[in-house]
């Protein structure tokens, strides 16, 4: 969901709430699909990787579903060995965080050299602690 043609519409509380709800409910399915496709997995193979039935993956990739739970997202993160970030934010922070809705922006970069310097230093620390 791109920014509205008239950004001043975001001053209206009801519009803002509907905008955020629509954005969140569509972002998760788009991101899951982008991650799955980046991994080159079918819905069935992705489902096996995250320990869910294929029908769950199909529902989660449906932008009309909108009933994903935090526990399901945690299960997916565990299956993919990635982190899950769920947070409350101001509207300007929300808009900045979700400005880029391209598939490339939705895929998690797992290699430290592709991430920010801060992420790379944390990845190095994690690697040191594991070895």
Closest CA to 51 of 30, 24, 72, 29: 72
Tens of pLDDT, residues 67-95? 999 999 999 999 999 999 999 999 889 98
How far apart CA 114 and CA 107 sit, in angstroms, is 12
Helices assigned H by DSSP within the chain:
13-38, 43-50, 54-60, 70-80, 91-97, 103-106, 117-130
Closest CA to 20 of 93, 109, 111: 93
pLDDT at 100 (0 to 100): 82
pLDDT at 14 (0 to 100): 94
Residues of the chain scoring pLDDT < 50: 112-115, 129-131
**Residues 36 and 57 sit within 8 Å (Cβ to Cβ):** yes
Report all structural domains of the chain as residue ranges with CATH numbers, in order of start: 7-130 (1.10.260.40)
How far apart CA 41 and CA 116 sit, in angstroms, is 27
How far apart CA 40 and CA 34 sit, in angstroms, is 10
pTM assigned to the model: 0.74
């Amino acid at each position: 969901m791109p920014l509205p043609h008239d950004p001043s519409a975001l001053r209206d509380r009801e519009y803002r709430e509907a905008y955020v709800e629509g954005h969140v409910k569509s972002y998760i399915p788009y991101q899951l699909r982008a991650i799955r496709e980046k991994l080159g997995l079918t819905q069935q193979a992705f489902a096996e990787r995250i320990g869910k039935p294929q029908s769950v993956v199909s529902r989660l990739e449906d932008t009309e579903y909108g009933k994903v739970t935090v526990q399901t997202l945690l299960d997916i993160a565990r299956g993919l060995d990635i982190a899950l970030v769920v947070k409350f934010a101001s509207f300007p922070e929300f808009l900045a965080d979700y400005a880029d809705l391209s598939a490339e922006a939705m895929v998690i970069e797992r290699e430290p050299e592709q991430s920010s310097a801060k992420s790379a230093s944390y990845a190095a620390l994690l690697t040191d602690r594991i070895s």
